[in-house]
Each structure stands twice: as structure tokens, then as C-alpha cells.
């Protein structure tokens, strides 16, 4: 089994990293957060590349590159902490493509894939990008529904992460099929991987340069151990996120397990890695001027959208118990 990205996925990653380095530095993130608006120029470039429809079939104007292709982009946008409705729009499109009815796909996917319309995604209490969306993928436990924005009561919600717009949602929609929520969690886990990677790199750069008593603080055992733990959690989240994305494309029967693993690893890793980054930056890490706080805030809201790690560990326990009962039953037979 090949655990690496294929050539096309590697090229997407390269282009995304180059684009976001030049178009979405932290200065742009700060501008968008201060203005309370997304960067329209960045969104236009993402649309021109066809990326909102990366996991949508060609029939509806997409690129047919699946959940792994989407994960590659979401990791890159998480790394940049980009202020854009891409996560919600591309993930909603991917979920509707995979779990929606023919009518739902025909109604929503052409506009989402082309970037003509955007989507919201989340729970009734915390929905990302729902305020100006055309359609909302609404999560309720392990069920999901697609809700037309025109039929919903959507109210702006001011959250601690000003790089993303949030809202509360009231209204009923049409149910999506099995696996919708798992696909949302797998996609969000990929974004968290990017957030963690950026927090880790910023921390390593800082502790190598910052000196106390004439030596880099990174040489202190407590600091180096913290950085090692950040690396472990980042790589654990990455492995789990890409396993979930692979399962969504190649082995949907394993998606519930993969999504639970990815959500648990991302919920814990995102919160702890970014908190460690704040701590390792010392006093400056707690200031508004230090860019590391954008990553911390994004991770907190992503964790809230994921639903916390505990519920996903419980889901893994249930899946393991069910598998064990099946094995025992098969052996007895």
C-alpha cells in the first residue's frame, strides 16, 4: 500500500502553498480579522483554480479529486489560517456529492463547484460561514441535513476566532445520507493538521532564536520536550486525518473508524499544540501583536466544531466492541 500522495496531489499541495504564502500572509489574515470580512481577492483566485469543486464530479463542474485532494487543500489553508469561506464551501460540496440525492446534487453542486455560491457548515449553535451562504450543511449528532439559506433563520454569532464568520441556524432541511458527518469531521481534521504544523514551525523558529543566559531557550530540556510533544501530536493528527480521507475515497466501510480517529486526534492535538505554542513564545505569545494567537483561536473553534475528543473516543470504543462481537460470532459459527 502506498502511503504517499500521488503526483497530482503533490502538485496541488505545492501550488496551494505557494499561492497562500504570497496571498495570505499573517498581515492579510490580520486585515481580514480586523475588517470582519473575508479577502475577496483570495477567494477569486481559489475559484479560478477550480478548488471549491475539488471533490465534486465533472458532471457538476468539479475536478473529481476526492477527499484526499480536499484534505491536501484544507491542510494548506489551515497552515495559512486563511480568511476565506473555502472550508465550508468545498466540504459542503464534497459531502453533498458523496451523500446527497440526485436532486440535491443537481440543485447545489454547480454553483458551489464554480464558486458562484458559498456554503455554511456546522451545528445549529455554531455554523461556520452560514450567514451569507446559499446552502448550509447542518449537523445534529451523527445526522446531517442540507438546508437552504432562504428558508432558515440565521443570526450572526461573534466568536473568539475573527478569521472565520460564524452564525446560529434555525430551520429544517432535507436529510443527507450515511457518512455525511464523518466526511465533515475528516475534512476539518485536515485543516487542524495545517494549523498544528504552522504552530510547531513558528515555535521552533522562536525557541532557536530566543536566548536566555546566552543560550537558545530551545536547548532547555523542558522546552525541547514540549516541542517534541507538539511534533508527536501534529504527526498523529496528520496520519489520522489522511487515513480518514483515504477511507472516504477507497473504503467507506472504514470511514466511521477513520473519522473518529481523525476527530479525536485533531481535537486534542489542535488545542494542545497551539496552547503549547503560546506558552513556548513566553510573554510575547499572549499579546495581540504575536501572530500565533490566530492559530490558537482557529484551533479552539475547530475543536468545538469537531465536538471534542471524548465523544470520538467513545465512538471508537463502540466500533471496537461491535467488531469484537462480530469476530466472536463468526468464530462460534
Judge whether 125 lies within some domain: yes
What's the pTM? 0.93
Chosen domain end from 124, 158, 177 = 177
Q: CA-to-CA distance for 126 and 314, rounded, in angstroms?
A: 22
Chosen domain end from 177, 209, 230 = 177
Residues 303 and 154 in one domain: no
Half-sphere exposure of 199 (CA within 13 A, CB side): 39
Burial of residue 50 (CB within 10 Å: 0-12, 13-18, 19+) is middle
Residues 209 and 306 in one domain: yes
Residues 14 and 126 in one domain: yes
- Number of structural domains, the chain? 2
Judge whether 2 lies within some domain: no
Residues 268 and 170 in one domain: no
Residues 22 and 105 in one domain: yes
Task: Report whether 137 contacts 176 (CB < 8 A).
Answer: yes
Q: Which pLDDT value is given to residue 157?
A: 96
Residues 248 and 135 in one domain: no
Distances 310 to 12, 19, 117, 315 between C-alpha atoms, Å: 33, 36, 35, 9
Chosen domain end from 177, 199, 232 = 177
Q: Which pLDDT value is given to residue 286?
A: 77
In CATH, what number is assigned to the domain containing residue 112?
A: 1.10.540.10
Residues 320 and 218 in one domain: yes
> Cell 484534505 belongs to which residue?
71
Segments forming the whole domain that contains residue 233: 181-324
- The SS3 of residue 331 is helix
Judge whether 72 lies within some domain: yes
Residues 83 and 198 in one domain: no
Residue-wise pLDDT tens digits, 93-119: 999 999 999 999 999 999 999 999 999
Residue-wise pLDDT tens digits, 18-59: 999 999 999 999 999 999 999 999 999 999 999 999 999 999
Judge whether 304 lies within some domain: yes
Residues 31 and 163 in one domain: yes
- The SS3 of residue 328 is helix
Residue 136 phi, psi (nearest 5): -130, 130
Quick one: DSSP state of residue 282? G
Q: With b meaning 16 or more CB within 10 Å and e meaning fewer, what string describes 153-178?
A: ebeebebebbbbbbbbbebebeebee
Judge whether 101 lies within some domain: yes
Residues 190 and 117 in one domain: no
Judge whether 273 lies within some domain: yes
In CATH, what number is assigned to the domain containing residue 277?
A: 1.20.140.10
Strand runs labelled E in 94-232: 119-122, 127-128, 135-140, 143-148, 153-157, 166-170, 174-175, 211-212, 215-216
Residues 169 and 297 in one domain: no
Q: Which pLDDT value is given to residue 332?
A: 47
Judge whether 69 lies within some domain: yes
Distances 285 to 29, 82, 202, 220, 292 between C-alpha atoms, Å: 17, 20, 11, 18, 7
Binned average pLDDT, 10 residues per bin, the chain of 333 residues: 80 96 95 92 96 97 96 97 97 98 98 97 96 96 95 95 95 94 98 98 86 62 86 97 96 95 96 94 81 95 92 90 73 47
Residues 171 and 27 in one domain: yes
Amino acid at each position: 500500500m502506498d502511503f504517499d500522495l500521488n503526483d497530482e496531489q503533490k502538485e496541488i499541495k505545492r501550488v496551494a502553498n505557494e499561492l497562500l504564502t504570497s496571498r495570505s500572509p499573517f498581515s492579510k489574515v490580520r486585515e481580514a480579522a480586523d475588517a470582519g470580512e473575508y479577502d475577496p481577492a483570495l477567494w477569486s483566485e481559489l475559484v479560478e483554480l477550480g478548488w471549491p469543486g475539488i471533490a465534486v464530479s465533472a458532471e457538476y463542474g468539479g475536478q473529481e479529486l476526492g477527499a484526499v485532494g480536499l484534505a491536501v487543500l484544507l491542510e494548506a489553508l489551515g497552515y495559512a489560517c486563511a480568511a476565506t469561506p473555502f472550508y465550508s464551501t468545498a466540504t459542503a460540496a464534497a459531502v453533498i456529492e458523496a451523500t446527497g440525492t440526485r436532486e440535491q446534487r443537481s440543485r447545489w453542486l454547480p454553483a458551489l463547484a464554480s464558486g458562484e455560491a458559498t456554503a455554511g457548515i456546522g451545528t445549529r449553535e455554531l455554523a461556520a460561514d452560514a450567514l451569507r451562504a446559499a446552502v448550509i450543511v447542518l449537523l445534529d449528532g451523527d445526522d446531517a441535513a442540507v438546508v437552504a439559506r432562504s428558508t432558515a433563520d440565521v443570526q450572526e454569532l461573534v466568536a473568539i476566532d475573527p478569521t472565520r464568520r460564524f452564525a446560529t441556524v434555525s430551520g429544517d432541511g432535507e436529510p443527507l445520507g450515511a457518512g455525511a458527518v464523518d466526511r465533515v469531521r475528516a475534512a476539518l481534521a485536515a485543516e487542524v493538521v495545517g494549523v498544528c504544523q504552522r504552530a510547531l514551525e513558528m515555535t521552533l523558529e522562536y525557541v532557536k532564536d530566543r536566548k536566555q543566559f546566552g543560550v537558545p531557550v530551545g536547548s532547555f530540556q523542558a522546552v525541547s520536550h514540549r516541542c517534541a510533544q507538539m511534533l508527536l501530536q501534529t504527526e498523529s493528527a496528520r496520519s489520522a486525518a489522511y487515513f480518514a480521507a483515504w477511507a472516504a475515497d477507497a473504503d467507506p466501510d472504514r470511514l466511521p473508524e477513520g473519522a473518529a480517529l481523525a476527530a479525536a486526534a485533531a481535537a486534542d492535538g489542535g488545542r494542545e499544540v497551539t496552547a503549547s505554542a503560546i506558552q513556548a513564545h513566553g510573554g510575547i505569545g499572549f499579546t495581540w501583536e504575536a501572530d500565533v494567537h490566530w492559530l490558537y483561536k482557529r484551533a479552539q473553534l475547530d475543536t468545538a466544531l469537531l465536538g471534542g475528543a471524548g465523544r470520538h473516543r467513545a465512538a471508537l470504543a463502540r466500533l471496537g466492541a461491535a467488531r469484537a462481537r462480530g469476530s466472536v460470532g463468526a468464530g462460534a459459527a
